[in-house]
Amino acid sequence: MTKQLDSSGIENELRQSIFFQRKEEKQSEKPEPIGAPAPQRNEKPSLPSSKRDTTVSRHHDTMTPSHHETTPPRTTPLPAFSQEIIEHLRGAVKQLGKEAATHRFTVEEKRALKSIAFEYANKDIQTSENEITRIAVNFLLDDYRKNKEHSLLARVLDSLNK
């Protein structure tokens, strides 16, 4: 014994949809008054407002809300990295990493790493999530070696443990 589904509600909705109406139903939907010019072949009959897909706004011009900022936000300048730091990081990352490690990233961190790698791939620059992570780790290690308790790593760790 097979289970029979009641499809009458769905059939009723489909019959009312303009996409599933038969040609006879479409033509009989709006009888043309006598003496009215016949619609041309390329002209589509006007649909009632309840069956339109889009609504045209009465307000044709856009208004900027008064409570929104109209000037772009200021961005803080990036710190200038010396060529020495860049070369040090380049050398560290160029070395083949042989130690396997597992790190747990949040979904957002993983997406950001993938996004950065994808951006550079679109610029025809090969990189990987692993390489980006190694650059970041080596940057933090180098900064810590030079600045100890004033390093970025030390400051973040101090704030996490307060």
The better pLDDT of the pair 113, 82 is held by: 113
Once rounded to an integer, what is the mean pLDDT over residues 61-76? 54
User: Tens digits of per-residue pLDDT, 102-143?
Assistant: 999 999 999 999 999 999 999 999 999 999 999 999 999 999
pLDDT: which is higher, 122 or 71: 122
* C-alpha–C-alpha distance, residues 146 and 92, integer Å: 16
Q: What pLDDT does 121 receive?
A: 96
pLDDT tier at 20, thresholds 50, 70, 90: low
Identify the band that residue 147 occupies on the pLDDT scale cut at 50, 70 and 90: very high
Q: Which tokens sit at 10?
A: 């769905």
For residue 56, what pLDDT is reported? 52
Averaged pLDDT for residues 86-107: 92
Domain ranges (residues) in the chain: 84-94+104-160
User: What local confidence, expressed as pLDDT, does residue 97 receive?
Assistant: 87
Q: Which of 77, 88, 63 is nearest to 139 (CA)?
A: 88
Going by pLDDT thresholds of 50, 70 and 90, the confidence category of residue 39 is low
Q: Which residues of 143-154 are buried (b: 16+ CB within 10 A; e: fewer)?
A: bbeeeeeebeee
Helix/strand/coil (H, E, C) string of the chain? Answer: CCCCCCCHHHHHHHHHCCCCCCHHHHHHHCCCCCCCCCCCCCCCCCCCHHHCCCCCCCCCCCCCCCCCCCCCCCCCCCCCCCHHHHHHHHHHHHCCCCCCCCCCCCHHHHHHHHHHHHHHHHCCCCCCHHHHHHHHHHHHHHHHHHHHHHCHHHHHHHHHCC
CA nearest to 46, candidates 16, 26, 67: 26
Average pLDDT over residues 69-81: 58
**Mean pLDDT of the region 21-32:** 56
Q: 139: which 2 tokens?
A: 């940057």
Per-residue confidence (pLDDT) for residue 119, from 0 to 100:
97
Rounded to an integer, what is the distance from CA 86 to the centroid of its chain? Answer: 31
> What percent of the chain is predicted at pLDDT more than 70?
57
pLDDT at site 38: 57
